[in-house]
Chain A
């Protein structure tokens, strides 16, 4: 099973700042099969990025994904108030598909 480790656990930033979230895999993941989700309290997750770098429908261009192999990054270029949430990465190339433990982006 591929273990995904996200860092940091919590990111404290102010609106307008840049957020950089990391997702490291225990084994190589094809970049075709890496996704990022946003989850707000009491809500279902929302798909942001698939295929490591492709934005899902309706996702603003301040969200971008990059990386390959075992290291992947989600970048939010300028934090908006609605971006403070928990973010998860997921690999869906190997069985079982797995999720990271999440990074919380909180208001500083």
Chain B
């Protein structure tokens, strides 16, 4: 059974950094494309970052490019999102998600989702 478990969210000041983790089970992360999708309070869904399959190319939305980095540790079967220079508008629940099929550049429809982790950027 595929399971995704996010952690690492919390309260951080503007300009600060945070690293989110997504522990995967039921499949081998190293060969799978994955993404992070966020949802601001009371708002809709926004794709944030994606990483390809075994090639490992990474992709980011313009809103986070240069500030966020997606990566994975194959030995731990864990996906990460390093978030730097955080802004108030980055406040959201962050979900890791596994696509049903992968169409390059981070694109895919998401069959499996974690429960989400809340990031709050505020002074």
Residues of A bordering B, CB below 8 Å: 33, 35, 37, 44-47, 50, 56-57, 88, 90, 92-102
Contact = CB atoms under 8 A, between A and B. Distances in A.
Interface residues of B, number: 22
Q: Please provide the 5 A-B residue pairs with the shortest distance between their CB atoms, ordered closest to farther.
A: A44-B113, A35-B109, A99-B45, A92-B107, A50-B109
Contact of B107 (A37, A44, A93, A102): A93
B103 A45 contact: no
- Chain B contact residues: over half helix, strand or loop, or mixed? loop
A54 B107 CA distance: 18
Contact of B95 (A33, A44, A94, A97): A44
Contacts of A95: 59, 105-107
Contacts of B99: 92
B61 A45 contact: no
Contact of A92 (B44, B59, B109, B113): B109
A88 B45 contact: yes
A90 B109 contact: yes
B62 A96 contact: yes
A4 to B, nearest CB: 10
Interface SS majority for chain A: loop
A33 B107 CA distance: 9
Interface in B60-85: 61-62
Interface string B94-123: 010001100101111111011110000000
Given A33-B103, A90-B45, 6 more contacts: A44-B95, A44-B113, A47-B111, A92-B107, A96-B62, A97-B107
A102 B44 contact: yes
A88 B44 contact: yes
Contacts of A57: 111
A42 B87 CA distance: 24
Contacts of B116: 44
B89 interface: no
Interface in B24-41: none
Nearest to B6: A44
